[in-house]
Structure 1
Amino acid sequence: MHTSPAPERTPQRNDAAPGPVTPTHCPYCALQCGMGLTRGPAGVEVVERPAFPVNGGALCGKGRTATAVLSARVRLTGPLVRSPGTGELEPAGWEEALDLVADGLARTRAAYGADACGVFGGGGLTNEKAYALGKFARVVLGTSQIDYNGRFCMSSAAAAGARAFGLDRGLPFPLADVARTDCVILVGSNLAETMPPALRHLTRLKDNGGTLIVVDPRRTRTAEQADLHLAPRPGTDLALALGLLHLVVAEGHTDEAYVRERTTGWEEARAAAMAHWPEYVERITGVPVPRLREAARRFGAAEHAMVLTARGPEQQAKGTDTVAAWINLCLATGRPGRPLSGYGCLTGQGNGQGGREHGQKADQLPGYRKLTDPAARAHVAGVWGVDPEALPGPGRSAYELLDALGGEVRSLLLMGSNPVVSAPHATHVEERIRSLDFLAVADVVLSETALLADVVLPVTQWAEETGTVTNLEGRVLLRRRAVDPPQGVRSDLQVLHGLAARLGHGKGFPAEPEEVFEELRRASSGGLADYAGISYERLAEGDGEGLFWPCPAVAEGAPAHPGTERLFLDRFATDDGRARFVPVTHRAAAEETDAGYPVVLTTGRVLAQYQSGAQTRRVDELNAAAPGPFVELHPRLAARLRVADGDAVAVVSRRGRVVVPARVTPAIRPDTVFMPFHWPGAGRANTLTHPALDPVSRMPEFKVCAVRVERA
């Protein structure tokens, strides 16, 4: 029997200090695990919430310690303004700080035009904040220059899903379905460290007799649970998927009736796959032909099967095509739109799904509407009370926006993101941020990016505010306010309300989250991500399990729409109801290895830290478990370099150099090294990463770049 790794624990209620429990959700990843908050002897405590189906009460270390960041010891409790005399950030009052932000944005707009003002959001913002931020950018500032760090999360999967199915929702089925299927191919995901409570669904799959196939260049804790581990060279996932499709066709595992009745484009996609014969794919990926055949046989012969992708195949300059190849494999075997089968993406950030549905993304309006669609513009403009012609068009994607700072974009309002650590080619991004005329940052903590700001605005966090989030299943959830924020802290909605009023929009930007959500419902009505039938009242009912979108409004007197737990059972969201095969072929990474840079670097996360580490690096327990950066290298590579475990080594790319301790392990390929990206400074992994962008999703190539490793 396989069990989940030890770091997943179920918090126990402290019976010595019973008190009312506020049901809420973890502030970190897209599982949005259910938890409760109560007052105990040590202050605010996390308690179990076993009825919530995603995690059943279990939490990882980040969730268990989430209340530590509520402490005034580690977070911002008052505005900071950069002194023109000392050049240092110094305490200021709220009115002064908001006046300075409004003046900085107004001066930029007057001197250079609306598009000289940029807005950069975050995948951790609630739906209400994401909606209000997108509206603020387009209505108050009139700028097209808005995007968010969720572009660095699952944008490739979103683009591929929309292209194939007409609609992108991370998982088109509940996570619990994973345990009931027969075979799962998990591509580029280390759930045991990034989403530990989700691993229980894979454990149950195996306990039920199902097969788990893990695709990862590292033998991670998750790969150790697999029946079959495929370890391709980073950047070759596309060839691997095409090779599996070739074998599925050759061995007769395609579902011809499904392909004929529910899809289009099969002939072209099949022809592209058949050019990727097994021996050719082995040469590209390094995965032996017998293992390719075994994976194709197990997946093709299963009655029910799924492919789940994560950042591994997605964070590449060909990420959209790579995900398309895995979707093609699912379509050819008749999986999507059938019970206990299909394709899904494991969204990473806490509200990465909802954050892009409602207006933070450069090319989208609320409800997953396209900014270039005249009908969409008319609908949203009607809700906002503005002329559709006044709405700007699509702007730059996240990295392109950061790259334009200090040039065409002169001022930036940034909420809930830390690109100095999280963006690719981070040294360049930091230089661009420093070159801005004006930077305002709203955040919970004084992040590395906030340290560069002209004005820093301290805002409330998850336990101190009410709002909705949408998890990786498309489940809309209500996070309730459980504690009061420190005096001197305001919510992001209050910040936008105050700025809008100062910039001539006294109405239209309420500070109360439920009022914002009611407007969001109207704006999303009729869109692909339709929230019109969802209300705070409905989300608070019962055990607070939430509602799956789309959940449209119904006629008065009719039963409320139950939400759409499983998508595509009857038809896909395309004009003709059919899914689209997309013909794709393997191509090289943007940067291949050579004599000067002979090793591939891939990046990712570790169990005890989260994203840029801005919050988790302030929690003592988490820092004790993961105190700093490192680089994993294979013993053969270490021997060539005469490096022992713990020795300082330099990892050098064409963009920069970092120095970190070596972690020697046979769990990684000899031609590959791995670095987590949670830390700033001399060990910042994103100093090295490549900013090459996927032509469709505009996702940077975080997972593949050429480096050399040297003794330091």
Structure 2
Amino acid sequence: MSKTLHHRACHLCEAICGLTIATQTEADGSTQILSIKGDAEDSFSRGHICPKAVALQDIQNDPDRLRQPMRRVGSEWQAIEWEEAFELVANRLADIQARHGQNAVATYHGNPSVHNYGLMTHSNYFLGLLKTRSRFSATSVDQLPHHLVSLQMYGHGFLLPICDIDHSDFMLILGGNPLASNGSIMTVPDVEKRLKAIQARGGKLVVVDPRRSETAAIADQHVFVRPGQDAALLFGLLNTLFEEGLTRSSHLPIAGLDAARQAIAGFTAEAMSARCGVPAESIRQLARDFAAADKAVCYGRMGVSTQAFGTLCHWLIQLINLVTGNLDREGGALCTEAAIDLTTSSSGTHFDRWRSRVSGLPEYSGEFPVAALAEEMLTPGEGQIRALVTVAGNPVLSTPNGRQLERALDGLEFMLSIDFYINETTRYADLILPPTGPLEHDHYDTTFNSFAVRNVARFNEPVLAKPAGALHDWEILVGLAKAFAAKLEVELKPTMAPAQMIDMGLRMGRYGDKSEHQLSLAKLQELPHGIDLGALKPNLAERLRTPDKKVQAAPALLLNDLPRFAAQPVPGAGELLLIGRRHVRSNNSWMHNYHRLVKGKPRHQLLMHPDDLAARDLTDGQRVRISSRVGMIEVEVAQSTDMMPGVVSLPHGWGHDRSGVQLAIAGALPGASVNDLTDERALDAVSGNAALNGLPVEVVAA
């Protein structure tokens, strides 16, 4: 027997914490994982680890994980050889497109796609051959407003200013809970220590949230806000900065700032108070405190993205940072200078070039909002979706109106899933192709390095050998591409392994051959703890991709949405509004099959303020029925004074009680899917992003 230490980053959330993994090779040649710990020598994560990383060994050893291609025959699953599977996919998809057109085949990418670089480098090698406009992903239930605002203001959807958390002395968080998420569109391992460091150096942390979240609990100030009304609060803040002369000049070239100021002039703190539920004087004082700080940053995340005015929210957040002089400034909001720069690609450079067939929703970077996926399958006519390819996704639990999507999936002519689980979505597939496990392949974080609070890079070698007969995700995509190209009798361009692509990207990047760092794959392989390339620095002025090379402070797309905001009625008293909830032991719908993560206190319940319980003659722990326009679920209720009165909270990703799908963990609670309540018609009208927060619901005894 021999023991080996491996160093790599955890891929299970955006923090990409460095790990030290100890393995032991047995006499029979098999390898066992002995321990997973934080890597104390990692300069970025500094030894930090959360419970998800330890569960990597549960994923590796999970008996439910598929390890060979499986074909559904009636209600049974049967093993199938790889080449036969590739041929089956090519025949079925080519036939459907021949009969119904190219757009009759749709694709859906789930959240884990950006955590596996083989899917990032090679998905389009196969899916691009389909030449379909019916493309969807989890982006439009999560972060689309972020990217759209960056495209409108800075010229590229990946020019995303990130909080310079290590140098800020005032951080204002709206709709984010980094203590549970470990940061999101802000790659920030060890976030609790970094937030507390702001306070330790005399700074201030303010959290705006309808729930006193884990992050709000350590903040200097927590502000309750009515769900879906963050834009009203942000309008009040921005107007106060203008009205009271609290703005600062910026070194950035700016166009349209006066137009933006005039357009929002009527949305004062006093006018917005009733809508957001925050007293006008509190709004004004928060604006004064933010402006008085030497280095301040306003950060908004999923809670402000997934609401009816999500794009307006992110525009206002950018303007608040801009007019206080904190955009592209140390301690404020800065764009990461990643070793492989996503802003050099064409992805993220176009919007609304075409629209969806049924509801006329705009595309962003070639993808339609996923709220339109089910209707595109269910609505007859030219262009109706007849087949679907899912890649690392579970949209039945992750997208609005999951029951409607189930009905749509059940009516497809053919469905392929690249996934290593039979889950609530893939159970409808005709064929499931499972890739190797995460510890069995190499990895480089192209996405999350691009949103990091420091400029960092790391290449992750596989910890375990690739099993005999298994294929990596990118090899599956290459196999599918070859079979489909042969079926169509078209020439397929040559490709290379993801690691070779990364090597080329590193050498050609800003830290490559012509820089002092001379980064390459070989160099990163010599640095198992990663490399710190320095703190974030101002760089936005020279990276602007707008036609006039100026920050666009007043995009017409946003100004045109102001009448819709103004016309929205003030929320009525007495209604309950539903919001989501994140937990550090969970990540969307794919972390509930592992004992280390599901043990402990139940966390699937509906949280509700005691006053709201009493008003409905409900008691703590009672089973309740929650209903919305689209559906009804039953779940236990838990009273919580952390909730704003009139607001209830249910976590995302549960609901593993569909027929044929069970958790492997004995005694684990399936919970209920919040997306059996969320409404596919409730959208941010500008981007088409799903408005999951602020959903009106009724709660009664079950």
Please give the range of the TM-score, normalised by the shorter of the 2 chains. Answer: 0.7 to 0.9
Of 177-186 and 120-129, deviating more is: 120-129
AA at the equivalent of 1:624: K
Give the SS at the match of 1:658.
Answer: strand
Structure 1 contact 677–685 (Cα < 8 Å) conserved:
yes
- The structure 2 residue matched to 1:303, chosen from 280, 294, 300, is 294
Residues 208 and 628 of structure 1: CA distance in aligned 2, closer, same or farther (over 3 Å): closer
- The structure 1 residue matched to 2:483, chosen from 480, 502, 526, is 502
**Count of matched residue pairs:** 636
- The structure 2 residue matched to 1:154, chosen from 143, 166, 176, is 143
Give the TM-score, by structure 2 length: 0.83
- The structure 1 residue matched to 2:593, chosen from 611, 615, 618, is 618
Q: In the alignment, what sits opposite 1:607?
A: 584
Residues 44 and 454 of structure 1: CA distance in aligned 2, closer, same or farther (over 3 Å): farther
Q: In the alignment, what sits opposite 2:636?
A: 661
Structure 2 contact 620–637 (Cα < 8 Å) conserved:
yes
Q: In the alignment, what sits opposite 2:701?
A: 711
Q: In the alignment, what sits opposite 2:226?
A: 233
Q: In the alignment, what sits opposite 1:131?
A: 121
Give the SS at the match of 2:250.
Answer: helix
Give the TM-score, by structure 1 length: 0.82
Q: Is it true that 1:79 corresponds to 2:69 in the alignment? A: yes
Q: In the alignment, what sits opposite 2:683?
A: 693
- The structure 2 residue matched to 1:635, chosen from 588, 607, 610, is 610
The separation in 2 between residues aligned to 1:318 and 1:79, in whole angstroms, is: 43
Q: In the alignment, what sits opposite 1:684?
A: 673
Matches within 5 A, 1:31-180: 31-40=15-24, 43-83=33-73, 86-125=74-113, 126-138=116-128, 140-169=129-158, 172=161, 177-180=164-167
Q: In the alignment, what sits opposite 1:512?
A: 497
Structure 1 residue 487, shift from structure 2 partner? 4.2
Deviations 1:270-316 (A, max 9, x none): 12333122222211111122321221111001111111111011112
Give the SS at the match of 1:179.
Answer: coil
Structure 2 contact 143–302 (Cα < 8 Å) conserved:
yes
Structure 1 residue 399, shift from structure 2 partner? 2.8
Q: In the alignment, what sits opposite 1:29?
A: 13
Q: Is it true that 1:670 corresponds to 2:645 in the alignment? A: yes
Q: Is it true that 1:201 corresponds to 2:194 in the alignment? A: yes
Q: Is it true that 1:536 corresponds to 2:521 in the alignment? A: yes
Structure 1 residue 451, shift from structure 2 partner? 1.2
- The structure 1 residue matched to 2:168, chosen from 167, 174, 181, is 181
- The structure 1 residue matched to 2:411, chosen from 423, 435, 442, is 435
Q: In the alignment, what sits opposite 2:250?
A: 258
Deviations 1:579-602 (A, max 9, x none): 12136547279999779x921111
Q: In the alignment, what sits opposite 2:179?
A: 192
The separation in 2 between residues aligned to 1:122 and 1:464, in whole angstroms, is: 20
Structure 1 residue 216, shift from structure 2 partner? 0.6
Give the SS at the match of 1:24.
Answer: strand
Q: Please, which runs of 5 or more residues in structure 2 have no aligned partner?
A: 26-31, 184-189, 354-363, 511-517, 658-670
Q: In the alignment, what sits opposite 2:692?
A: 702
Deviations 1:159-218 (A, max 9, x none): 112222223447545x6x313211111111111112173222111111111111111110
Structure 1 residue 72, shift from structure 2 partner? 4.2
The separation in 1 between residues aligned to 2:537 and 2:34, in whole angstroms, is: 34
Residues 100 and 577 of structure 1: CA distance in aligned 2, closer, same or farther (over 3 Å): same
Structure 1 contact 77–486 (Cα < 8 Å) conserved:
no
- The structure 2 residue matched to 1:400, chosen from 346, 361, 372, is 372
Give the SS at the match of 1:239.
Answer: helix
Structure 2 contact 157–349 (Cα < 8 Å) conserved:
no
AA at the equivalent of 1:611: N
Q: In the alignment, what sits opposite 2:539?
A: 567
Structure 1 contact 172–565 (Cα < 8 Å) conserved:
no
- The structure 2 residue matched to 1:491, chosen from 463, 469, 472, is 472
Deviations 1:556-587 (A, max 9, x none): xxxxxx99865316564433332121365472
Residues 672 and 91 of structure 1: CA distance in aligned 2, closer, same or farther (over 3 Å): same
The separation in 1 between residues aligned to 2:39 and 2:158, in whole angstroms, is: 25
The separation in 2 between residues aligned to 1:113 and 1:676, in whole angstroms, is: 39
- The structure 1 residue matched to 2:575, chosen from 592, 598, 612, is 598
Q: In the alignment, what sits opposite 2:265?
A: 274
The separation in 1 between residues aligned to 2:267 and 2:282, in whole angstroms, is: 15
Structure 2 contact 122–478 (Cα < 8 Å) conserved:
no
Give the SS at the match of 1:708.
Answer: strand
Matches within 5 A, 1:381-530: 394=366, 396-405=368-377, 408-469=384-445, 470-471=447-448, 472-473=451-452, 477-504=458-485, 507-508=492-493, 510=495, 512-517=497-502
Q: In the alignment, what sits opposite 2:317?
A: 326
Residues 580 and 267 of structure 1: CA distance in aligned 2, closer, same or farther (over 3 Å): same
AA at the equivalent of 1:39: T
Structure 1 residue 402, shift from structure 2 partner? 4.3
Give the SS at the match of 2:272.
Answer: helix
The separation in 2 between residues aligned to 1:563 and 1:536, in whole angstroms, is: 22
AA at the equivalent of 2:172: I
Structure 1 contact 632–675 (Cα < 8 Å) conserved:
yes
Structure 2 contact 17–38 (Cα < 8 Å) conserved:
no
